[in-house]
A and B are shown apart, each in its own frame.
Chain A
């Protein structure tokens, strides 16, 4: 299977190039979709809606990568806990990623229903 490269200059600035951080990146972007949040608020919010606790090191690796790609940006703050917000590019990337995930989910659920019946 061809691997989506981080170095493809022609590729849209999506989430595929984030490799092993794509999962954490999706959760972070989804969390930031409604409001700005700092690191700890992100951790708690993700835990509440996804049931996953993103560890601090992983969270900040993903934040740094998302910021380097322009998908999120830091918000100026007097507080030591700097908040982050989604950019327009990040919103488009998240929407495209979730649409693709939804298509996969729709197909999987439809086939499950036809082969195994409804629960």
Chain B
């Protein structure tokens, strides 16, 4: 084996730790440095670990979760996209827990005050999420529409189509399977529950994929094929909507004013996530006593709380980085 070729191959393997954008900027020179280093010291675990760590940091920087970008607007956009991704994980898991409880309340009120308070807190947080989502969407749509209207712009049309397709699929599937569920489908504006039954059923149907049944294949196999298909497809619909929105935000020419507004909403979203998580924890700690185990907290709910906690931690980091970038926007 020719030693320089081996060094080149190893250098190129190490380079894969870094994101594509970083490689296109620094790839050649970094490879040359690695080749020289490897030729001088063929084996070094410390060097491998250092490069791996550097690659992860570069990826986190690209995602707006750490570091310092030359362009503050790009840093803010990246951080906002990361926060959006965190919400895309947080909301399905959160909505799955919330809909379980609200559907239970269609039949009977919770047996303890703590679970009742938890449900009120979670419902208020869900309403706040909706308001924040609308407030966040309006200026972005306002910025995206004019360039599209001026002429076909694949940069913005493709992400917009991806976003709309995801939202449409979620809406149609959620309506279809929500209405088909006998527990709430018959009375969309329930008279005795905390939230309208139709809304609870829609939320439940949209988040059917967050289910303990994945761990019980034999029970899952007894489900209608259409439901199993929907459980598999609905996360893809969420992914499509989030990918489209993320690409639109990255590509749209958002003004500093819009970015600063979105940064404030990002901080508010983190606060609402924390409130929602507190409600979830209150319910799970209380144990969810009630008639016929309607409010029983299971292992899937503990798992969901772990996911919500991680999503909140990453979202806070993203919001902090967005705020740092926003401060630099102010002075330019």
Contacts and interface: CB of A to CB of B under 8 A. Distances in A.
Interface residues of B, number: 32
B67 A65 contact: yes
Interface string B304-332: 00000000000000000001110110110
Contact of A40 (B37, B55, B325): B37
Contacts of A64: 22, 26, 58
Nearest to A54: B50
A6 interface: yes
B57 interface: yes
A84 to B, nearest CB: 9
B28 A9 contact: no
Contact of A58 (B32, B50, B328): B50
A39 B54 contact: no
Given A56-B37, A57-B50, A68-B70, A7 B323 contact: yes
A61 interface: yes
A57 B330 contact: no
A56 B34 contact: yes
Contacts of B26: 60, 63-64
A97 interface: no
B50 A39 contact: no
A57 B33 contact: no
Contacts of B267: none
B2 to A, nearest CB: 19
B53 interface: yes
Most chain A CB within a 10 A radius of its CB, from B33, B50, B67: B33
B67 A81 contact: no
Contacts of A5: 324
B29 A61 contact: no
A69 interface: yes
Given A6-B324, A9-B327, A65-B68, A81 B33 contact: yes
Interface of B: 22, 26, 28-34, 36-37, 46-47, 50-55, 57-58, 67-70, 323-325, 327-328, 330-331
24 contacts: A6-B324, A7-B323, A7-B324, A7-B325, A7-B327, A38-B33, A39-B32, A39-B33, A40-B32, A40-B37, A55-B46, A56-B30, A57-B47, A57-B54, A57-B55, A61-B57, A63-B26, A64-B26, A65-B67, A68-B68, A68-B69, A69-B68, A81-B32, A82-B29
Q: 10 closest Cβ contacts across the A-B interface?
A: A57-B54, A7-B324, A55-B50, A39-B33, A9-B331, A57-B50, A68-B70, A80-B28, A57-B51, A40-B36
